[in-house]
């Protein structure tokens, strides 16, 4: 009985395990091994060397740091906006909460590239924003710094990742029952205290997931900086892409990728701990 149950469960999870192994585990292991190899005259040479990682830290520290800053900004802005929106949907919008949530999710129908081009149209020299400013007489010459700037990258990626951040936060807020909130009010908690002591601690998991998803996405993205970022926004994704593309240096590309992954893991673990501690109701 026990055994057949176990077999059954194994059978049921087999497809997802297979997909995960074939599409994720094997390729990532391959690239991990590759990151310790070398390239000589455009040929891969097996071996074990930390040269690639040394090169990452000597030549690519600036884009790495820049990527970290941009991704951090995007993740913090997105998580904050997403929390505000999800909080509104759960606690303030009444029966319209689900409708508002649906509106946020509908934006997922607009594809990734569509949104990038949309922001190009809005922020460009002849874009919607500049036309509006000129029409209002605020400026005479179009503001060119909107597009092809870090600002454009942040706003575009924030817009794109927002629904992915709203969902986990809304999920955790939905899990908070009204009763403990009433109970807290009843024993003397002001609405502010209820927010910090009862709601926030129970929204932790959602906040951490939202931050992680957004940070990972922003740190790994290279299309947005390419299209709206301009020359100075050299995020690490662009360099990785070029190592695999025209430079044909897969070991260096792999080393850069694993450095980014490492940075993401460290950042997320650190931020998760920070969020966990910050949202703990005082003892």
Partner 1 sequence: MLARLNSPSLKMPLSPQSTNPESTGSRVMADDGSGDQTRGSKLRGLPESRPLVELRKLAKHYGSITAVHALDLEIGRGEFLAILGPSGCGKTTLLRMISGFANPSAGTIRIAGEDVTRRGPHNRPTNMVFQGYGLFPHMTVAQNVAYGLRIAKRPRTEIVRRVDEAMALVHLESFRDRSVTQLSGGQAQRVALARALIMRPEVLLLDEPLAALDLKLRKAMQEELRSIHARTGGTFVFVTHDQEEAMGLATRICVMESGRVIQDGPPEAIYSFPRSRFVSTFIGEANIFAGQRSKSMVSLEIGPCFEDHGPDEDVVCVVRPEKMIIADAVDDASSLGCDAHLAGTLEDAVFLGPYVKYVVRLGDEGRVLVDSRDIELRHRVAVGGAVIVGWYLGDQRVFSDQ
- Give residues in contact with partner 1 (CB under 8 A): 177, 179-190, 193, 197-198, 201-202, 281-283
Q: Which is nearer to partner 1, 21 or 190 (CB)?
A: 190
Distance of closest approach, residue 183 Cβ to partner 1, in angstroms: 4
Distance of closest approach, residue 203 Cβ to partner 1, in angstroms: 10
Q: Which is nearer to partner 1, 93 or 176 (CB)?
A: 176
Give the whole-angstrom CA distance, residue 264 versus residue 248: 25
Distance of closest approach, residue 192 Cβ to partner 1, in angstroms: 10
Distance of closest approach, residue 99 Cβ to partner 1, in angstroms: 22
Q: Which is nearer to partner 1, 189 or 223 (CB)?
A: 189
In contact, 119 and 231? CB cutoff 8 Å: no
Q: Which is nearer to partner 1, 111 or 191 (CB)?
A: 191
Give the whole-angstrom CA distance, residue 281 versus residue 200: 8
Among 170, 144, 157, 150, which Cα is nearest to 85's?
170
Distance of closest approach, residue 142 Cβ to partner 1, in angstroms: 51
Q: Which is nearer to partner 1, 168 or 251 (CB)?
A: 168
Token duo for residue 75 = 């993740």
Distance of closest approach, residue 54 Cβ to partner 1, in angstroms: 46
Q: Which is nearer to partner 1, 191 or 245 (CB)?
A: 191
């Amino acid at each position: 009985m026990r055994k057949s149950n176990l077999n059954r469960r194994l059978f049921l999870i087999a497809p997802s395990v297979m997909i995960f192994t074939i599409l994720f585990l094997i390729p990532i292991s391959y690239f991990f091994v590759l990151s310790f190899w070398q390239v000589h005259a455009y040929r891969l040479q097996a071996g074990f060397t930390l040269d690639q990682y040394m090169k990452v830290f000597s030549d690519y520290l600036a884009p790495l740091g820049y990527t970290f800053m941009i991704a951090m900004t995007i993740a913090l802005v997105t998580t904050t906006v997403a929390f505000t929106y999800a909080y509104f949907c759960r606690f303030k919008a009444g029966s319209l909460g689900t409708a508002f949530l649906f509106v946020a999710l509908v934006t997922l129908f607009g594809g990734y590239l569509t949104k990038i081009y949309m922001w190009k149209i809005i922020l460009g020299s002849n874009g919607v924003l500049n036309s509006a400013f000129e029409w209002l007489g605020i400026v005479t010459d179009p503001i060119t710094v909107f597009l092809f700037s870090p600002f454009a990258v942040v706003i575009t990626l924030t817009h794109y990742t927002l629904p992915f951040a709203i969902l986990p936060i809304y999920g955790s807020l939905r899990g908070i029952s009204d009763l403990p909130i009433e109970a807290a009010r009843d024993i003397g908690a002001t609405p502010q205290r209820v927010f910090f002591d009862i709601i926030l601690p129970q929204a932790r998991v959602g906040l951490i997931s939202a931050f992680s998803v957004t940070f990972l996405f922003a740190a790994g993205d290279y299309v947005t900086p390419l299209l709206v970022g301009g020359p100075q926004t050299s995020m690490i994704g662009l360099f990785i892409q070029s190592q695999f593309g025209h430079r044909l240096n897969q070991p260096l590309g792999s080393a850069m990728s694993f450095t980014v992954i490492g940075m993401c893991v460290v950042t997320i673990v650190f931020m998760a701990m920070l969020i966990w501690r910050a949202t703990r109701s005082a003892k």
